[in-house]
Structure 1
Amino acid sequence: MMQISSDSASNKHSLINVMHRFIAAANNMDETIMVPSLLRDVPLEEQGANEVEANNNNNPEPPCPNKQRDMYEHYLLLKSIKNDMEWGLLKKEMSSGASFLEMAVKQEEEQQQQQQQPPVTGDLLPDDNSDLEYQFHYHLRGLFGVLSKLTMQADHLTNRYKREIGGGNFMR
Protein backbone atom coordinates (compact mmCIF):
# COMPACT_ATOMS: atom_id res chain seq x y z
CA MET A 1 0.00 0.00 0.00
CA MET A 2 1.34 3.44 -0.93
CA GLN A 3 1.78 5.94 1.89
CA ILE A 4 2.05 9.68 1.56
CA SER A 5 5.11 10.94 3.34
CA SER A 6 4.56 13.56 5.99
CA ASP A 7 7.07 15.80 4.20
CA SER A 8 4.90 16.14 1.09
CA ALA A 9 1.73 16.58 3.15
CA SER A 10 3.31 19.38 5.17
CA ASN A 11 4.68 21.16 2.10
CA LYS A 12 2.50 24.22 1.55
CA HIS A 13 3.07 23.95 -2.19
CA SER A 14 1.86 20.36 -2.54
CA LEU A 15 -1.20 19.59 -4.64
CA ILE A 16 -2.85 17.92 -1.66
CA ASN A 17 -2.41 21.05 0.44
CA VAL A 18 -3.81 23.32 -2.30
CA MET A 19 -6.82 21.02 -2.63
CA HIS A 20 -7.36 20.99 1.14
CA ARG A 21 -7.19 24.80 1.26
CA PHE A 22 -9.87 25.12 -1.41
CA ILE A 23 -12.13 22.55 0.23
CA ALA A 24 -11.66 24.26 3.62
CA ALA A 25 -12.49 27.65 2.08
CA ALA A 26 -15.57 26.20 0.37
CA ASN A 27 -16.68 24.51 3.61
CA ASN A 28 -16.19 27.79 5.49
CA MET A 29 -18.23 29.57 2.82
CA ASP A 30 -20.98 26.96 3.10
CA GLU A 31 -21.04 27.17 6.92
CA THR A 32 -21.03 30.99 6.92
CA ILE A 33 -23.74 31.48 4.31
CA MET A 34 -26.75 30.33 6.25
CA VAL A 35 -29.33 31.67 3.79
CA PRO A 36 -27.91 31.32 0.26
CA SER A 37 -31.06 32.75 -1.32
CA LEU A 38 -30.04 36.15 0.08
CA LEU A 39 -27.28 36.11 -2.51
CA ARG A 40 -29.75 36.24 -5.40
CA ASP A 41 -29.60 39.40 -7.50
CA VAL A 42 -26.53 40.67 -5.62
CA PRO A 43 -23.86 41.51 -8.19
CA LEU A 44 -20.71 39.43 -7.96
CA GLU A 45 -18.51 42.52 -7.87
CA GLU A 46 -19.11 45.37 -5.50
CA GLN A 47 -20.77 48.35 -7.14
CA GLY A 48 -18.02 50.89 -6.43
CA ALA A 49 -15.23 48.70 -7.77
CA ASN A 50 -17.13 48.02 -11.00
CA GLU A 51 -17.79 51.70 -11.63
CA VAL A 52 -14.14 52.63 -11.13
CA GLU A 53 -12.88 49.80 -13.33
CA ALA A 54 -15.47 50.51 -16.03
CA ASN A 55 -14.46 54.18 -16.07
CA ASN A 56 -10.76 53.30 -16.24
CA ASN A 57 -11.31 50.99 -19.20
CA ASN A 58 -13.87 53.24 -20.94
CA ASN A 59 -16.04 50.15 -21.06
CA PRO A 60 -19.78 50.67 -20.45
CA GLU A 61 -20.27 47.08 -19.22
CA PRO A 62 -18.73 45.89 -15.96
CA PRO A 63 -16.29 43.02 -16.46
CA CYS A 64 -17.64 39.59 -15.66
CA PRO A 65 -14.91 37.03 -16.33
CA ASN A 66 -16.74 34.23 -14.54
CA LYS A 67 -20.00 34.70 -16.47
CA GLN A 68 -22.00 34.45 -13.24
CA ARG A 69 -24.78 36.99 -12.95
CA ASP A 70 -24.93 37.15 -9.19
CA MET A 71 -23.32 35.94 -5.99
CA TYR A 72 -25.84 33.08 -5.68
CA GLU A 73 -24.78 31.51 -8.99
CA HIS A 74 -21.14 31.91 -8.02
CA TYR A 75 -21.86 30.26 -4.66
CA LEU A 76 -23.49 27.30 -6.45
CA LEU A 77 -20.54 27.01 -8.83
CA LEU A 78 -18.01 26.87 -5.99
CA LYS A 79 -20.11 24.26 -4.14
CA SER A 80 -20.43 22.18 -7.31
CA ILE A 81 -16.68 22.22 -7.91
CA LYS A 82 -16.02 21.24 -4.29
CA ASN A 83 -18.47 18.35 -4.56
CA ASP A 84 -16.87 17.20 -7.81
CA MET A 85 -13.47 17.20 -6.12
CA GLU A 86 -14.73 15.26 -3.10
CA TRP A 87 -16.96 12.75 -4.88
CA GLY A 88 -15.50 12.62 -8.38
CA LEU A 89 -17.26 12.61 -11.71
CA LEU A 90 -18.78 9.14 -11.35
CA LYS A 91 -21.49 10.39 -8.97
CA LYS A 92 -22.56 13.04 -11.50
CA GLU A 93 -22.62 10.53 -14.36
CA MET A 94 -24.85 8.20 -12.37
CA SER A 95 -27.28 11.01 -11.57
CA SER A 96 -27.20 12.28 -15.20
CA GLY A 97 -26.27 15.78 -14.04
CA ALA A 98 -23.53 17.52 -15.96
CA SER A 99 -21.13 19.47 -13.78
CA PHE A 100 -18.85 22.25 -14.93
CA LEU A 101 -15.84 20.02 -14.31
CA GLU A 102 -17.34 17.12 -16.26
CA MET A 103 -18.13 19.37 -19.22
CA ALA A 104 -14.54 20.67 -19.21
CA VAL A 105 -13.13 17.13 -19.15
CA LYS A 106 -15.38 16.05 -22.04
CA GLN A 107 -14.41 19.12 -24.05
CA GLU A 108 -10.72 18.45 -23.50
CA GLU A 109 -11.14 14.80 -24.51
CA GLU A 110 -12.88 15.84 -27.72
CA GLN A 111 -10.08 18.28 -28.54
CA GLN A 112 -7.46 15.60 -27.93
CA GLN A 113 -9.31 13.15 -30.18
CA GLN A 114 -9.43 15.73 -32.96
CA GLN A 115 -5.69 16.39 -32.62
CA GLN A 116 -4.81 12.69 -32.55
CA GLN A 117 -6.45 11.63 -35.80
CA PRO A 118 -4.36 8.85 -37.38
CA PRO A 119 -2.37 9.89 -40.44
CA VAL A 120 -3.89 8.85 -43.74
CA THR A 121 -0.53 7.60 -45.05
CA GLY A 122 -0.72 4.43 -42.99
CA ASP A 123 2.40 5.26 -40.94
CA LEU A 124 2.64 4.10 -37.35
CA LEU A 125 1.01 6.33 -34.77
CA PRO A 126 3.41 8.45 -32.70
CA ASP A 127 4.09 7.20 -29.18
CA ASP A 128 1.37 8.69 -26.96
CA ASN A 129 3.62 8.36 -23.91
CA SER A 130 6.38 10.57 -25.32
CA ASP A 131 5.08 13.80 -23.81
CA LEU A 132 3.32 12.53 -20.68
CA GLU A 133 5.72 14.40 -18.41
CA TYR A 134 5.05 17.65 -20.27
CA GLN A 135 1.27 17.05 -20.13
CA PHE A 136 1.44 16.25 -16.43
CA HIS A 137 3.37 19.44 -15.57
CA TYR A 138 1.16 21.56 -17.83
CA HIS A 139 -2.03 20.34 -16.16
CA LEU A 140 -0.48 20.45 -12.69
CA ARG A 141 0.41 24.14 -13.14
CA GLY A 142 -3.11 24.79 -14.40
CA LEU A 143 -4.65 22.92 -11.49
CA PHE A 144 -2.57 24.87 -8.97
CA GLY A 145 -3.62 28.15 -10.59
CA VAL A 146 -7.31 27.29 -10.77
CA LEU A 147 -7.46 25.94 -7.21
CA SER A 148 -5.69 29.03 -5.87
CA LYS A 149 -8.16 31.32 -7.66
CA LEU A 150 -11.15 29.27 -6.50
CA THR A 151 -9.89 29.44 -2.91
CA MET A 152 -9.57 33.22 -3.13
CA GLN A 153 -13.06 33.48 -4.66
CA ALA A 154 -14.61 31.34 -1.91
CA ASP A 155 -12.91 33.48 0.74
CA HIS A 156 -14.01 36.66 -1.02
CA LEU A 157 -17.61 35.45 -1.30
CA THR A 158 -17.63 34.53 2.41
CA ASN A 159 -16.24 37.91 3.46
CA ARG A 160 -18.58 39.79 1.15
CA TYR A 161 -21.56 37.89 2.57
CA LYS A 162 -20.46 38.81 6.10
CA ARG A 163 -20.16 42.49 5.12
CA GLU A 164 -23.53 42.53 3.37
CA ILE A 165 -25.34 40.81 6.22
CA GLY A 166 -23.58 42.87 8.86
CA GLY A 167 -24.45 46.10 7.08
CA GLY A 168 -28.02 45.13 6.26
CA ASN A 169 -27.43 45.94 2.59
CA PHE A 170 -29.51 43.05 1.29
CA MET A 171 -32.78 44.95 1.59
CA ARG A 172 -32.80 46.72 -1.75
Structure 2
Amino acid sequence: MMQISDTYNQKHSLFNAMNRFIGAVNNMDQTVMVPSLLRDLPLDMEEKEGVHKSNGAANYFTRRDMHSHYILLKSIRNDIEWGVLQGEDRKKDKLTTMDISRLEDAEGEEDLEKQFHYHLCGLHSVLSKLTRKANILTNRYKEEIGFASWGH
Protein backbone atom coordinates (compact mmCIF):
# COMPACT_ATOMS: atom_id res chain seq x y z
CA MET A 1 0.00 0.00 0.00
CA MET A 2 1.30 3.46 -0.92
CA GLN A 3 1.83 5.92 1.90
CA ILE A 4 1.23 9.66 1.78
CA SER A 5 4.96 10.42 1.66
CA ASP A 6 5.33 8.06 -1.33
CA THR A 7 2.53 9.87 -3.15
CA TYR A 8 4.19 13.22 -2.40
CA ASN A 9 7.56 11.98 -3.62
CA GLN A 10 6.06 10.49 -6.78
CA LYS A 11 4.34 13.80 -7.51
CA HIS A 12 7.79 15.40 -7.60
CA SER A 13 9.52 12.64 -9.57
CA LEU A 14 11.27 13.38 -12.84
CA PHE A 15 9.14 10.74 -14.54
CA ASN A 16 5.94 12.52 -13.49
CA ALA A 17 7.37 15.91 -14.45
CA MET A 18 8.12 14.55 -17.93
CA ASN A 19 4.63 13.05 -18.17
CA ARG A 20 3.03 16.36 -17.12
CA PHE A 21 5.09 18.18 -19.74
CA ILE A 22 4.30 15.65 -22.49
CA GLY A 23 0.59 15.77 -21.53
CA ALA A 24 0.57 19.58 -21.65
CA VAL A 25 2.27 19.59 -25.06
CA ASN A 26 -0.09 16.90 -26.38
CA ASN A 27 -3.05 18.98 -25.16
CA MET A 28 -1.53 22.06 -26.81
CA ASP A 29 -0.97 20.12 -30.04
CA GLN A 30 -4.57 18.84 -30.09
CA THR A 31 -5.98 22.29 -29.29
CA VAL A 32 -3.96 24.29 -31.81
CA MET A 33 -5.62 23.39 -35.10
CA VAL A 34 -4.04 26.22 -37.12
CA PRO A 35 -0.47 26.81 -35.88
CA SER A 36 0.08 29.66 -38.36
CA LEU A 37 -2.41 31.75 -36.32
CA LEU A 38 0.24 31.83 -33.59
CA ARG A 39 2.69 33.87 -35.65
CA ASP A 40 3.52 37.34 -34.26
CA LEU A 41 1.42 36.76 -31.13
CA PRO A 42 3.29 37.18 -27.83
CA LEU A 43 2.92 34.28 -25.38
CA ASP A 44 2.32 36.32 -22.23
CA MET A 45 -0.05 39.23 -21.85
CA GLU A 46 2.78 41.29 -20.26
CA GLU A 47 4.74 40.92 -23.49
CA LYS A 48 1.81 42.28 -25.44
CA GLU A 49 2.11 45.45 -23.37
CA GLY A 50 5.89 45.64 -23.89
CA VAL A 51 6.98 44.48 -20.42
CA HIS A 52 10.11 42.32 -20.58
CA LYS A 53 11.73 40.37 -17.78
CA SER A 54 15.37 41.02 -16.93
CA ASN A 55 16.36 37.35 -16.53
CA GLY A 56 18.37 36.06 -19.50
CA ALA A 57 16.28 32.89 -19.84
CA ALA A 58 13.08 34.90 -19.68
CA ASN A 59 14.39 37.21 -22.40
CA TYR A 60 14.99 34.15 -24.60
CA PHE A 61 11.29 33.39 -24.38
CA THR A 62 10.12 37.02 -24.70
CA ARG A 63 11.81 37.40 -28.08
CA ARG A 64 9.73 34.54 -29.43
CA ASP A 65 6.16 34.58 -30.67
CA MET A 66 3.61 31.88 -29.84
CA HIS A 67 4.46 29.98 -33.04
CA SER A 68 8.13 29.75 -32.05
CA HIS A 69 7.12 28.47 -28.60
CA TYR A 70 4.79 25.94 -30.21
CA ILE A 71 7.59 24.55 -32.42
CA LEU A 72 10.12 24.57 -29.53
CA LEU A 73 7.79 22.76 -27.11
CA LYS A 74 6.93 20.09 -29.70
CA SER A 75 10.62 19.61 -30.48
CA ILE A 76 11.50 19.14 -26.80
CA ARG A 77 8.61 16.69 -26.39
CA ASN A 78 9.94 14.68 -29.34
CA ASP A 79 13.44 14.67 -27.85
CA ILE A 80 12.05 13.31 -24.56
CA GLU A 81 9.91 10.67 -26.27
CA TRP A 82 12.35 9.54 -28.95
CA GLY A 83 15.74 10.49 -27.51
CA VAL A 84 18.48 12.78 -28.72
CA LEU A 85 20.97 10.18 -29.89
CA GLN A 86 21.38 11.85 -33.27
CA GLY A 87 22.50 15.08 -31.61
CA GLU A 88 24.87 13.23 -29.27
CA ASP A 89 26.25 11.17 -32.15
CA ARG A 90 26.96 14.36 -34.10
CA LYS A 91 28.82 15.81 -31.11
CA LYS A 92 30.93 12.67 -30.72
CA ASP A 93 31.83 12.74 -34.41
CA LYS A 94 33.36 16.18 -33.89
CA LEU A 95 35.40 15.08 -30.86
CA THR A 96 38.46 12.93 -31.16
CA THR A 97 38.74 9.73 -29.13
CA MET A 98 41.40 11.41 -27.01
CA ASP A 99 39.06 14.35 -26.25
CA ILE A 100 36.28 11.95 -25.18
CA SER A 101 38.56 9.96 -22.85
CA ARG A 102 39.80 13.21 -21.24
CA LEU A 103 36.21 14.35 -20.67
CA GLU A 104 35.24 10.99 -19.17
CA ASP A 105 38.28 11.04 -16.84
CA ALA A 106 37.46 14.57 -15.67
CA GLU A 107 33.85 13.59 -14.99
CA GLY A 108 34.92 10.49 -13.05
CA GLU A 109 36.98 12.55 -10.59
CA GLU A 110 34.02 14.62 -9.44
CA ASP A 111 31.27 13.57 -7.05
CA LEU A 112 28.77 11.88 -9.39
CA GLU A 113 25.97 11.86 -6.84
CA LYS A 114 26.18 15.65 -6.45
CA GLN A 115 26.28 16.07 -10.24
CA PHE A 116 23.26 13.82 -10.62
CA HIS A 117 21.18 15.69 -8.03
CA TYR A 118 22.21 19.07 -9.44
CA HIS A 119 21.16 18.11 -12.97
CA LEU A 120 18.04 16.30 -11.78
CA CYS A 121 16.86 19.41 -9.91
CA GLY A 122 17.68 21.57 -12.92
CA LEU A 123 15.87 19.26 -15.33
CA HIS A 124 12.82 19.12 -13.07
CA SER A 125 12.76 22.92 -12.86
CA VAL A 126 13.09 23.34 -16.63
CA LEU A 127 10.36 20.76 -17.30
CA SER A 128 8.02 22.58 -14.88
CA LYS A 129 8.63 25.89 -16.67
CA LEU A 130 8.14 24.29 -20.11
CA THR A 131 4.92 22.64 -18.93
CA ARG A 132 3.68 26.02 -17.73
CA LYS A 133 4.60 27.57 -21.13
CA ALA A 134 2.68 24.83 -22.99
CA ASN A 135 -0.39 25.43 -20.81
CA ILE A 136 -0.14 29.21 -21.27
CA LEU A 137 0.18 28.80 -25.04
CA THR A 138 -2.86 26.51 -25.16
CA ASN A 139 -4.97 28.97 -23.15
CA ARG A 140 -3.76 32.00 -25.16
CA TYR A 141 -4.64 30.18 -28.41
CA LYS A 142 -8.14 29.53 -27.07
CA GLU A 143 -8.46 33.23 -26.17
CA GLU A 144 -7.25 34.34 -29.61
CA ILE A 145 -9.72 32.15 -31.49
CA GLY A 146 -12.56 33.12 -29.17
CA PHE A 147 -12.97 29.89 -27.25
CA ALA A 148 -11.92 31.17 -23.82
CA SER A 149 -14.81 29.21 -22.31
CA TRP A 150 -13.16 25.87 -23.23
CA GLY A 151 -12.09 23.82 -20.21
CA HIS A 152 -8.63 24.58 -18.81
Q: Same fold (TM over 0.5)?
A: yes
Partner of 2:17: 18
1:156 corresponds to which letter in structure 2? Answer: I
How far apart in 2 are the matches of 1:70 and 1:52?
A: 13
Partner of 2:146: 166
> Structure 1 126/78 Cα, relative in aligned 2: closer, same or farther at 3 Å?
closer
List per-residue Cα deviations over 1:119-145 (Å, max 9, x = no partner): xxxxxx678154110110010000110
Partner of 1:141: 121
Partner of 1:28: 27
> Structure 1 139/14 Cα, relative in aligned 2: closer, same or farther at 3 Å?
same
Give 1:45 shift.
3.0
Partner of 1:122: none
Partner of 2:80: 85
Indicate the RMSD between aligned Cα atoms, in angstroms.
3.7
TM-score normalised to the size of structure 2? 0.71
**Pair 1:53 & 2:48 matched:** no
List per-residue Cα deviations over 1:23-77 (Å, max 9, x = no partner): 000000000001111111212333xx233736xx8x9xxx733265311011000
- Larger-Rg structure: 1
How far apart in 2 are the matches of 1:77 and 1:127?
A: 30
How far apart in 2 are the matches of 1:12 and 1:127?
A: 30
CA contact 2:42–2:62 (8 Å) conserved in 1: no
- % same residue: 56
**Pair 1:74 & 2:54 matched:** no
How far apart in 1 are the matches of 2:81 and 2:73?
A: 12
CA contact 2:43–2:140 (8 Å) conserved in 1: no
Gaps in structure 1 of 5+ consecutive residues: 118-124, 168-172
**Aligned runs of 1:119-138 on 2, under 5 Å?**
128=108, 130-138=110-118
**Greater alpha carbon shift after TM alignment, 27-36 vs 9-18:** 9-18
**Pair 1:156 & 2:136 matched:** yes
Between the two structures, name the one with larger relative contact order (CA 8 Å, sep ≥ 6): 2
How far apart in 1 are the matches of 2:50 and 2:68?
A: 24
List per-residue Cα deviations over 1:61-101 (Å, max 9, x = no partner): xx7332653110110000000000000013xx2xxxx6xxx
2:19 corresponds to which letter in structure 1? Answer: H
> Structure 1 65/126 Cα, relative in aligned 2: closer, same or farther at 3 Å?
closer
Gaps in structure 2 of 5+ consecutive residues: 148-152
Aligned length: 134
